[in-house]
Amino acid sequence: MAKGHRSKIKRERNKLQRETRPSAKLSYARVSVQKACFVLDAIRGKDVETALGILEYNPRYASGLIKKLLESAIANAENNNGMNRENLYVAECYANKGPIMRRIHYRAQGRAYRIEKRMSHITVVLDEKK
């Protein structure tokens, strides 16, 4: 049996399992997961300068959001982890489903159609090249 209080044991266990790679997360982005994934698939595995170039000239709406998020992750890597910008690449990037705003579109003969405005939580994780 482990020694110590339960919260102390959990704290020590979480310290060992903590993620050390720099990341940035955008919650409640007003773009659907499917539309965000088109852009995320284009930058996954690329170095950060190439990824920023791709996002700069991508015409999709989500690319502007993801560009800001990538710049935030780069700043986190430089300031918090002391990493070099030239060695960084996009290790992981994914979008998870967020809440859905449901709206009603009124139609003929007393009917109503539901409009779903979807949101997503977008995460970008960077890592250094070996």
Reported as a single tens digit per residue, the pLDDT across 70-107 is 999 999 999 998 899 999 999 999 999 999 999 999 99
For the chain, state the CA radius of gyration. Answer: 20
Average pLDDT of 42-50?
A: 95
Residue carrying structure tokens 């990538």: 70
| Distance in angstroms (rounded) separating the CA atoms of residues 48 and 34 | 22
Predicted pLDDT of residue 103: 97
Structural domains of the chain in order of their starting residue, each with its CATH number: 21-128 (3.90.470.10)
Query: What is the average per-residue pLDDT within 57-76?
Result: 96
Task: Say yes or no to pLDDT of 67 above 90.
Answer: yes
pLDDT tens figures, 2-35: 677 889 888 888 888 777 889 999 999 999 999 9
Could you give the CA distance from residue 71 to residue 95 in angstroms, rounded to a whole number?
17
Q: Report how far apart, in Å, the C-alpha atoms of 92 and of each of 10, 13, 30, 44 are.
A: 27, 24, 21, 6
